[in-house]
Structure 1
Amino acid sequence: MEFIETNGVVLHCAIQRVEKGPPPLVFINSLGSDFRIWTGVCARLGDGWSTLRYDKRGHGLSEEGTDAYSIGRHADDLIGLLTKTGFDGVVLCGLSVGGLIALEIWRKRPDLVAGLVLCDTAAKIGTAQMWQDRIDLIRKDGIAALAEPVLERWFSSGFRSSCQEQVSGYRSMLVRTALDGYLGTCEAIRDADLTEVLQSITVPTLCLCGDEDGSTPPEVVMDMQEKISGSSFEMIEYAGHLPCVEQPDAIAQLLAQFVAKVHVQGQS
């Protein structure tokens, strides 16, 4: 566990380095979660990988900052973190809003990116009115007012019924997110549309989606994937919006295969 100041905020991160190996994997979390959602995936990948996990500003143990939130600011935070840690030529694995951040980093600093994994995300997520309605409700009643419908989108029906203790824990993660961090990131998603970026992507790209994702359903992710030249799509069975939690074995296997391919292409 480390704390690193960049772009005006102190970010909480976990870093694993190996001397030689495939490109580093950088994990970017969803709204209302912290980097612990990737714990199972990283455990299954093992020690032979360089990895960076971090909490976005206003999430987990990272500072909220005082500036207005935007996808560009979130991207600048991670660009600064990559610079300070010396990671480049990375594979960005962005989940939900993390996918928007990954796309923005590709737009701003393609030199840092060797590959993209866009997980349960889209270049534009939802509508401005949908996000404004969520913002207004949370300002009035708090994050807990939306906790149950969020959890229904996060997790498959089977997981919610059979893993109730874990669902309860992730509910705590959600509702304990800093209010300003959650609302600021909602505003960032509301205002973001990175559709034009998709046609510019020239690095290997893998798109993933849980088959029961209620936030960015498979057809939404597939529509994005079709706009990215040479990209591929994989459906994760028995998973909602956070397949890294429900199906860490499947995610780790797909990531290992994909990054190995990126590594081979980078050496050719």
Structure 2
Amino acid sequence: MREQMITRPDGTRIYAQITGAENGPAVVFSNSLGTTLQLWDPILPLLPEGLRILRYDMRGHGRSDVPDAPYTMGQLISDAEAVCDAFDVRDAMFVGLSVGGMIAQGLAVKRPDLIRAMVLSNTAAKIGNPKLWQDRISFITANGMAAASDEIMRRWFGRDFYATPAMTPWKAMVEATSVTGYTGVCAAIAGTDFYTPTSGLRIPTLGIAGTEDGSTPPDLVRETTDLIPGSHFALIRRAGHLPCVEKPAEFATHLCDFLSATGHLAQAGD
């Protein structure tokens, strides 16, 4: 594993790590609001060997710096761009969940050389509305992450997973997130509408949704995926907003099938 802190023009340092084959086909993972790169831990052992896997913590989260809020989607996209450039990643499969999926859409428009295919998991071209996000920002600013964590868990997880011992580390992850970092990214989501730019994309795309997702319901994910001609859509039953956590084997199967269908997986054996 190779780790690096990438310093952005505003001084913010973004933590990233890369593992796997030195010259293998790249897969970049981008996390959801309130999580770190550990979001993908459950599925990594289920992926084939030979891939070059790049993960990072977005600003305000994990081991990355927490600059003053608010943040913009342009900043989040530029951070992801800088991470890819720092590790000389090109023609990657970009897997983004929730806000990570919004970053994927924006980066695919801005830097088509970086992304040859993308997976839009539990995300949309537009999520919620400015009032919803401002209400959340105001509540968390006033009360802290712990006061909001149970409501977040209810949106995130399906009935099979919610309130089980397996949920505990994810609730702790949310509560450990900086209020500034969380609300900063909330502001970025609030100001984003990618319907027009995403509809202009022409790259292989897989949408993934969970039937019990309280944040980005399946119809919303499908609507965004359908903006891109030739895209595919997979529905994971009895899973919520983080199917890579609740149903890692099923999520990994969809991902591996897509890697194979796009020819990305075949490159691992070259």
Q: Displacement of 1:67 after TM fit?
A: 7.1
What is the DSSP-based 3-state SS (H/G/I as helix, E as strand, rest coil) of the residue aligned with 1:251?
helix
Aligned length: 264
**Structure 1 counterpart of 2:258, which letter?**
F
Q: Displacement of 1:263 after TM fit?
A: 2.3
Give CA-to-partner distance per residue, 1:147-178, whole Å, 9 cap, x none: 111101111101125xx222121111001101
Between 257-266 and 206-215, the greater mean CA deviation after superposition: 257-266
Aligned counterparts of 1:126 and 1:50: Cα–Cα separation in 2: 34
**Equivalent residue number for residue 97 of structure 2:** 95
Give CA-to-partner distance per residue, 1:17-58, whole Å, 9 cap, x none: 31454x311110000001111001111114321111111011
Q: 1:11 to 1:135 in 2, by over 3 A?
A: same
Between 143-152 and 256-265, the greater mean CA deviation after superposition: 256-265
**Structure 1 counterpart of 2:94, which letter?**
L
Q: Displacement of 1:265 after TM fit?
A: 11
**Equivalent residue number for residue 122 of structure 2:** 120
**Structure 1 counterpart of 2:79, which letter?**
D
User: RMSD of the TM alignment (CA)?
Assistant: 1.8
The 8 Å contact of residues 6 and 81 in structure 1, kept in 2 or not, is answered as no
What is the DSSP-based 3-state SS (H/G/I as helix, E as strand, rest coil) of the residue aligned with 2:90?
coil
The 8 Å contact of residues 6 and 16 in structure 2, kept in 1 or not, is answered as no
What is the DSSP-based 3-state SS (H/G/I as helix, E as strand, rest coil) of the residue aligned with 1:157?
coil
Q: Which runs of 5+ in 2 are unaligned?
A: none
Q: Displacement of 1:259 after TM fit?
A: 1.5
The 8 Å contact of residues 70 and 183 in structure 2, kept in 1 or not, is answered as no
Equivalences for 1:213-232 in 2 at 5 Å?
213-232=213-232
**Structure 2 counterpart of 1:90, which letter?**
A
Between 141-150 and 182-191, the greater mean CA deviation after superposition: 141-150
The 8 Å contact of residues 124 and 193 in structure 1, kept in 2 or not, is answered as yes
**Structure 2 counterpart of 1:174, which letter?**
V
**Equivalent residue number for residue 20 of structure 2:** 17
Aligned counterparts of 1:173 and 1:59: Cα–Cα separation in 2: 10
**Structure 1 counterpart of 2:238, which letter?**
Y
Equivalences for 1:1-268 in 2 at 5 Å?
2-7=3-8, 8-21=11-24, 23-66=25-68, 68-161=70-163, 164-263=164-263
What is the DSSP-based 3-state SS (H/G/I as helix, E as strand, rest coil) of the residue aligned with 1:209?
strand
What is the DSSP-based 3-state SS (H/G/I as helix, E as strand, rest coil) of the residue aligned with 1:110?
coil
Q: 1:134 to 1:245 in 2, by over 3 A?
A: same
What is the DSSP-based 3-state SS (H/G/I as helix, E as strand, rest coil) of the residue aligned with 2:162?
helix
What is the DSSP-based 3-state SS (H/G/I as helix, E as strand, rest coil) of the residue aligned with 2:42?
helix
Aligned counterparts of 2:197 and 2:133: Cα–Cα separation in 1: 22
**Structure 1 counterpart of 2:206, which letter?**
L
The 8 Å contact of residues 114 and 262 in structure 1, kept in 2 or not, is answered as no
Aligned counterparts of 2:266 and 2:224: Cα–Cα separation in 1: 25
| TM-score in terms of structure 2 length | 0.93
Q: Which runs of 5+ in 1 are unaligned?
A: none
Aligned counterparts of 2:239 and 2:264: Cα–Cα separation in 1: 30
Q: Displacement of 1:140 after TM fit?
A: 0.9
What is the DSSP-based 3-state SS (H/G/I as helix, E as strand, rest coil) of the residue aligned with 1:111?
coil
Aligned counterparts of 1:172 and 1:234: Cα–Cα separation in 2: 29
Q: Displacement of 1:261 after TM fit?
A: 2.1
**Structure 2 counterpart of 1:202, which letter?**
R
Aligned counterparts of 2:167 and 2:69: Cα–Cα separation in 1: 32
| TM-score in terms of structure 1 length | 0.93
The 8 Å contact of residues 204 and 262 in structure 1, kept in 2 or not, is answered as yes
Identity %: 39
The 8 Å contact of residues 16 and 83 in structure 2, kept in 1 or not, is answered as no
Aligned counterparts of 2:246 and 2:266: Cα–Cα separation in 1: 31
